[in-house]
């Protein structure tokens, strides 16, 4: 999807993907975490960033929409400082408890120099790769590899019959995970659940079967 599509989504507040509660599998990530910091690509205004930021030394999110970046800090009752960071505008709040920086702009324009915090980065992907059509996915994975030579990616996937609905979200199944992350040193399935109500955040998907899974992928 092009930036124009996502800007319209935020402008119209058609954000059915946004969860009103923390994801129940966050505990797996905070238990298994490998690095000092965490990167959240295509972060939206995800509430999950609050417990993640509390668990890691620093959190960096990447998000196209200014509305999403501003809403995130408003809902967290934090006042960010705004500055320039590479080709991005940075919204950052840091105190003795948390350090959260949202880089507003294009994920594909991020550079490794923006991720030089001590202790390296894990990656948390919820509704990021599934938001991208097949035509953009290889570039998404290539960018992650460019940004992080070694990392652990925690990624939530959705499996359904793509013929039943048009995306986003787009199906990301086990075969695709193995195909895109074939280069990784390990890929572990941590959780998998059939969603009987077929509800994805605030949307009920018109599909006959919906499975959500969580993988831990290391390279
Ligand atoms: C399906 S939403 C998921 C948001 C968040 N991960 C969550 O769980 O709520 C996808 C998000 O990716 C953002 N996005 C899409 N393309 C992007 C890009 N090229 N660079 C940065 N953000 C992008 C959209 O604005 C949108 O907020």
Q: Determine, yes or no, domain membership for 19.
A: no
Q: Are 206 and 164 in contact (CB under 8 A)?
A: yes
**Residue 1 pLDDT:** 77
Specify which residues 102 forms β-bridges with: 61, 91
Q: Determine, yes or no, domain membership for 189.
A: yes
Expressed as residue numbers, the domain containing 109 is 3-11+24-218
**Residues of the chain falling short of pLDDT 50:** none
**Residue 192 pLDDT:** 98
75, with CB counted inside 10 A (0-12, 13-18, 19+), is exposed
Number of domains, the chain: 1
**Residue 186 pLDDT:** 97
CB distance 126 to ligand 1 below 6 Å = yes
Distance 165 CA to ligand 1 centre (A): 19
Output DSSP code: residue 148. -
Q: Determine, yes or no, domain membership for 177.
A: yes
Distance 183 CA to ligand 1 centre (A): 25
**Residue 90 pLDDT:** 98
Q: In the chain, how long is the greatest CA-to-CA distance?
A: 49
Distance 76 CA to ligand 1 centre (A): 19
Q: Are 101 and 83 in contact (CB under 8 A)?
A: no
**Residue 193 pLDDT:** 97
Using DSSP's 3-state secondary structure scheme, residue 169 falls into coil
CB distance 6 to ligand 1 below 6 Å = yes
CB distance 39 to ligand 1 below 6 Å = no
Q: Determine, yes or no, domain membership for 61.
A: yes
Distance 63 CA to ligand 1 centre (A): 6
**Residue 195 pLDDT:** 94
Q: Are 59 and 38 in contact (CB under 8 A)?
A: yes
Question: CATH number of the domain that 212 lies in?
Answer: 3.40.50.150
Distance between CA atoms of residues 26 and 45, nearest Å: 16
Distance between CA atoms of residues 111 and 86, nearest Å: 8
Q: What is the pLDDT of residues 27-84, one digit of tens each?
A: 999 998 999 999 999 999 999 999 999 999 999 999 999 999 999 999 999 999 999 9
Q: Determine, yes or no, domain membership for 17.
A: no
pTM: predicted TM-score of the whole model, two decimal places = 0.97
Q: Are 170 and 133 in contact (CB under 8 A)?
A: yes
112, with CB counted inside 10 A (0-12, 13-18, 19+), is exposed
Q: Sign of torsion, CA 87 70 82 151? A: negative
**Residue 3 pLDDT:** 94
Q: Determine, yes or no, domain membership for 16.
A: no
Q: Determine, yes or no, domain membership for 210.
A: yes
CB distance 64 to ligand 1 below 6 Å = yes
- From 3, 5, 6, the mutation candidate for ligand 1 (largest count of ligand atoms within 8 A of CB) is 6
CB distance 125 to ligand 1 below 6 Å = no
Q: Are 198 and 204 in contact (CB under 8 A)?
A: yes
Q: Are 111 and 86 in contact (CB under 8 A)?
A: yes
- From 26, 44, 45, the mutation candidate for ligand 1 (largest count of ligand atoms within 8 A of CB) is 44
CB distance 107 to ligand 1 below 6 Å = yes
């Amino acid at each position: 999807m092009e930036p124009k599509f996502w800007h319209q989504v935020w402008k119209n507040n058609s954000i059915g993907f946004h969860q009103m509660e923390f994801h129940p599998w966050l505990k797996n990530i905070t238990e298994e975490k490998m690095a000092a910091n965490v990167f959240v690509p295509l972060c939206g205004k995800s509430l999950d960033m609050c417990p993640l930021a509390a668990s890691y030394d620093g959190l960096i999110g990447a998000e196209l929409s200014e509305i999403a970046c501003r809403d995130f800090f408003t809902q967290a009752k934090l006042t960010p400082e705004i500055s320039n960071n590479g080709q991005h505008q940075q919204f950052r709040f840091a105190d003795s408890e948390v350090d959260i920086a949202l880089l507003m702009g294009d994920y594909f324009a991020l550079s490794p120099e923006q991720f030089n915090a001590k202790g390296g980065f894990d990656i948390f992907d919820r509704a990021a790769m599934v938001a991208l059509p097949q035509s953009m996915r290889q570039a998404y994975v290539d960018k992650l590899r460019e940004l992080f030579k070694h990392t652990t990616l925690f990624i939530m996937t959705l499996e359904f019959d793509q013929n039943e609905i048009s995306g986003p979200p787009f199906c990301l199944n086990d075969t695709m995970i193995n195909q895109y992350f074939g280069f990784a040193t390990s890929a572990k399935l941590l959780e998998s659940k059939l969603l009987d109500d077929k509800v994805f955040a605030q949307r009920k998907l018109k599909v006959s079967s919906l499975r959500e899974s969580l993988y831990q992928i290391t390279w």
